[in-house]
Amino acid sequence: MDEVIPSRLKTFDAFPKVQSTYTQSTRRGKYTTVILVVILMYLIYGELGFYIGGQEIHQFRVNKTVDRDMQINVDITVAMDCQHVTANVHDVSGDTLKASELLEFEAGDIDFSRYANRHFIHSDSSLDDVMHHSSKPAKSLENNLVKTDTGACRIYGSIPVNAVQGDFHITAKGYGYHDRRGLRPNELNFTHIIDEFSFGEYYPKLVNPLDGTTQLASEGESMTKYHYLLSLIPTIYRSGSKNIQTQQYSYKTQKRVFGGPSREIPGIFLQYDIGAIELDIHHKRMAFAQWLIRMASILGGVITCSGWAFRGLETMVGRFLGKKYLQDDSGRSKGMLDEKPEFD
């Protein structure tokens, strides 16, 4: 076998190395090498996190599904006795749902200070956050209440409604709906806190835009209409084999105070409309081979460009300060950027 292979091929080296006796090292090269290694480690750490975490893709498309109904999750506290308030839903199809018969009414506390240190997972959080918190066992809305009777009423629960444009509203009895137990106008107080207002399956850790909203009625604002206009976007979260279908929304708010008799009804009105666009949020991770090629390209490019920059800087320093300055900085240790062959 040795006779077949030429002697030149036996000693062939595709990447010839320069012997250490013919190289000159400097402290500048050593420090530059240390800095370069730190940068490379940081890049490796970042790219590894990018590969493990994957990429979150947002896609909008026309909503082709037709849902007959959907669920509204409510948790609102109003600064009035429960015996004086009622809740209803009215939609464009002409149906009216007596939500008071399906929701729970309990005397509760209306304390604005409890929101000072609350931490939420918002609906615009990352896909990993949504998947993680949606996997928690669903807690009942009832568990959030601190039961102290201070004249406020907490209205909570979930109700099925038609999947069309509609209006969920909380009003005082005798206003908008006939009831003999109506209060006088100056006795109304629609100061309120919205702890939960969402659509679809209830996920206790996911917070929608209105969650945590507070409205305080000032003196002389007993006859006030709080109007929230909600634009719903059907949203699907997909990660692996797990899918979560819910509704995101944006909202605008209007407040109108009636100074005298008016056809308007005081209360809290949440008007919602379902958009024709659907949002698909899914998780995607690049192939491992593709990531290796990406990683090698980045590291190789950084090393090459750093070597060019270092040699260019050395050349400029030598021209302006002289070669003697470069020779005075030579040392025993070597850096991988400043090895220069020297031949007699």
Q: DSSP code of 200?
A: B
284 backbone dihedrals φ, ψ, rounded to 5°: -135, 135
DSSP string for 99-149: GGGTSEEEEE---GGGGTT---EETTS-HHHHHHHHTSPPPPGGGG-----
For residue range 299-311, list pLDDT tens digits in order: 999 988 888 888 8
Sheet holding 213-215, edge to edge: 104-108, 152-162, 69-78, 192-199, 213-215
pLDDT at position 149 over 50? no
Average pLDDT over residues 165-180: 82
- What pLDDT, on a 0 to 100 scale, did the predictor assign at position 4? 58
Query: Residue 119's pLDDT band (boundaries 50, 70, 90)?
Result: very low
Q: Is residue 270 domain-resident?
A: yes
- What pLDDT, on a 0 to 100 scale, did the predictor assign at position 77? 93
Our CA angle for 47, 52, 55, nearest 5°, is 85
Question: Higher-confidence residue: 226 or 343?
Answer: 226
Q: What is this structure's pTM? A: 0.61
Q: Is residue 248 domain-resident?
A: yes
- What pLDDT, on a 0 to 100 scale, did the predictor assign at position 124? 46
Tokens 């209830």 found at: 202
Q: Is residue 330 domain-resident?
A: no
For residue range 37-55, list pLDDT tens digits in order: 999 999 998 888 888 877 7
Domain coverage including residue 213 = 61-284
- What pLDDT, on a 0 to 100 scale, did the predictor assign at position 11? 60
Q: Is residue 317 domain-resident?
A: no
Average pLDDT over residues 220-245: 84
Q: Domain holding 189: CATH number?
A: 2.60.470
Q: Is residue 80 domain-resident?
A: yes
How many domains does the chain contain in total?
1
- What pLDDT, on a 0 to 100 scale, did the predictor assign at position 24? 62
- What pLDDT, on a 0 to 100 scale, did the predictor assign at position 122? 43
- What pLDDT, on a 0 to 100 scale, did the predictor assign at position 139? 46
- What pLDDT, on a 0 to 100 scale, did the predictor assign at position 284? 78
Average pLDDT over residues 85-102: 91
Dihedral over alpha carbons 159, 162, 163, 169 (to 10 degrees):
-60
For residue range 183-203, list pLDDT tens digits in order: 787 888 899 999 899 988 877
Q: Is residue 158 domain-resident?
A: yes
Q: Which helix (H) or strand (E) element contains residue 314?
A: helix 288-321
Average pLDDT over residues 233-256: 83
Q: Which helix (H) or strand (E) element contains residue 321?
A: helix 288-321
Q: Is residue 1 domain-resident?
A: no
* Sign of the alpha-carbon torsion through 120, 123, 126, 128: positive
- What pLDDT, on a 0 to 100 scale, did the predictor assign at position 297? 92
Q: Is residue 224 domain-resident?
A: yes
Residues 6 or more apart in contact with residue 138 via CB below 8 angstroms: 202, 203, 204
